[in-house]
Chains A and B, each alone.
Chain A
Amino acid sequence: MSDVARASPRLPPHRERRGLDASWLVLQVALFAVIAGLIGAAGYNAAQNLAKANIAHGFGFWNNTAGFDISQTLIDYSSSTSTFGHAFWVGLLNTLLIAGVGIVLATILGFVIGIARLSRNWLVARLAGGYVEVIRNIPLLLQLLFWYNAVLKALPEMRGSIALPLGGFLNNRGLFLPKPVFAPDFEAVVIALAVGIAAAIGWRIWAKRYQARTGEQMPIVLPALAVIFGLPFIVFVVAGKPLTFGIPDMGRFNIRGGLEILPEFAALLFALTVYTAAFIAEVVRAGVLAVPAGQIEAAQTLGLRAGGTLRLVVVPQAMRVIVPPLTSQYLNLIKNSSLAVAIGYPDLVQVFAGSVLNITGQAVEVIAITMAVYLFISLVTSLLMNFYGRIVAVAER
Chain B
Amino acid sequence: MKRLATAFAIATVLGFAMQAASAQTLKAVKDRGGLLCGANGQLAGFGMPDPQGNWTGFDVDFCRAIAAAIFNDPTKVKFMPLTAANRFTALQSGEVDVLSRNTTWTMSRDTQLGIDFAAVNYYDGQGFMVHKALKVASALELNDASVCVQQGTTTELNLADYFRSNHMSLKPVTFATLDEALKAYDSGRCDAFTTDSSGLYGSRLLLSNPSDNIVLPEIISKEPLSPAVRQGDDTWEDIVRWTHHAMVNAEELGVNKANVDEQKSSTNPEIRRLLGAEGQFGESLGLTNDWAVRIIKAVGNYGESFERNVGQGSPLKITRGLNALWTKGGLQYGLPIR
A39→B189 contact, CB < 8 A? no
Of residues 169 to 187 in B, which have CB atoms within 8 Å of A's CB atoms?
Answer: 170-176, 180, 184, 187
B-side contacts of A362, CB under 8 Å:
112
Q: How many residues of B contact A (CB 8 A)?
A: 56
Looking at the complex, which one of A49, A70, A172, A346 makes contact with B18 (CB distance below 8 Å)?
A: A49
Interface flags, A237-261, vs B, CB<8A=1, else 0: 0000000000000011110100000
A-side contacts of B189, CB under 8 Å:
152, 172-173, 263
A46 to B14, CA, bound (A): 9
B-side contacts of A68, CB under 8 Å:
151, 156-157, 159-160, 172, 174
Interface flags, B143-171, vs A, CB<8A=1, else 0: 11110000111001101110110000011
Cβ-based interface call for B81 (8 A): no
Segment of B29-37, B83-91, B320-328 in the binding face: B83-91
Cβ-based interface call for A202 (8 A): no
Cβ-based interface call for A194 (8 A): no
B7→A361 contact, CB < 8 A? no
A67 to B164, CA, bound (A): 10
Of residues 44 to 89 in A, which have CB atoms within 8 Å of B's CB atoms?
Answer: 45-46, 49-50, 52-56, 67-71, 79-80
Output the least CB separation between B111 and chain A (Å). 8
Say yes or no: A49-B134 contact (C-beta < 8 A), given A35-B7, A67-B157: no
Cβ-based interface call for B113 (8 A): yes
A46→B16 contact, CB < 8 A? yes
A50 to B18, CA, bound (A): 7
Of residues 136 to 158 in A, which have CB atoms within 8 Å of B's CB atoms?
Answer: 152-153, 157-158
Looking at the complex, which one of B16, B85, B145, B160 makes contact with A253 (CB distance below 8 Å)?
A: B145
A-side contacts of B51, CB under 8 Å:
none
Cβ-based interface call for A337 (8 A): no
Looking at the complex, which one of A39, A80, A254 makes contact with B11 (CB distance below 8 Å)?
A: A39
B4→A350 contact, CB < 8 A? no
A346→B174 contact, CB < 8 A? yes
Interface flags, A341-367, vs B, CB<8A=1, else 0: 111101000100011011111110000
Looking at the complex, which one of A52, A56, A251, A359 makes contact with B152 (CB distance below 8 Å)?
A: A359
Output the least CB separation between B210 and chain A (Å). 19
Cβ-based interface call for A162 (8 A): no
Cβ-based interface call for B232 (8 A): yes
A355 to B154, CA, bound (A): 10
A-side contacts of B113, CB under 8 Å:
55-56, 361
B20→A49 contact, CB < 8 A? yes
Cβ-based interface call for A38 (8 A): yes
A-side contacts of B8, CB under 8 Å:
38
B-side contacts of A172, CB under 8 Å:
187-189
Say yes or no: A42-B21 contact (C-beta < 8 A), given A56-B113, A67-B160, A253-B145: no
Q: List 23 A-B contacts (CB under 8 A).
A: A35-B7, A38-B15, A39-B11, A41-B15, A45-B17, A50-B114, A53-B231, A55-B112, A67-B157, A68-B151, A68-B156, A68-B157, A80-B160, A157-B188, A253-B142, A254-B146, A344-B176, A346-B174, A354-B174, A355-B152, A357-B152, A360-B112, A361-B88
Q: A344-B176, A363-B88 are in contact. List 8 more A-B contacts (CB 8 A).
A: A45-B15, A53-B231, A68-B157, A68-B174, A253-B143, A354-B151, A358-B152, A361-B109
Q: What are the 7 tightest A-B residue pairs by CB atom distance, in nearest-first order?
A: A358-B152, A38-B11, A42-B15, A49-B18, A56-B112, A79-B160, A55-B114
Residues of B that sit less than 8 Å from A by CB: 3-4, 7-8, 11, 14-18, 20-21, 84-85, 88-89, 92, 108-109, 111-114, 134, 141-146, 151-153, 156-157, 159-161, 163-164, 170-176, 180, 184, 187-189, 191, 230-232
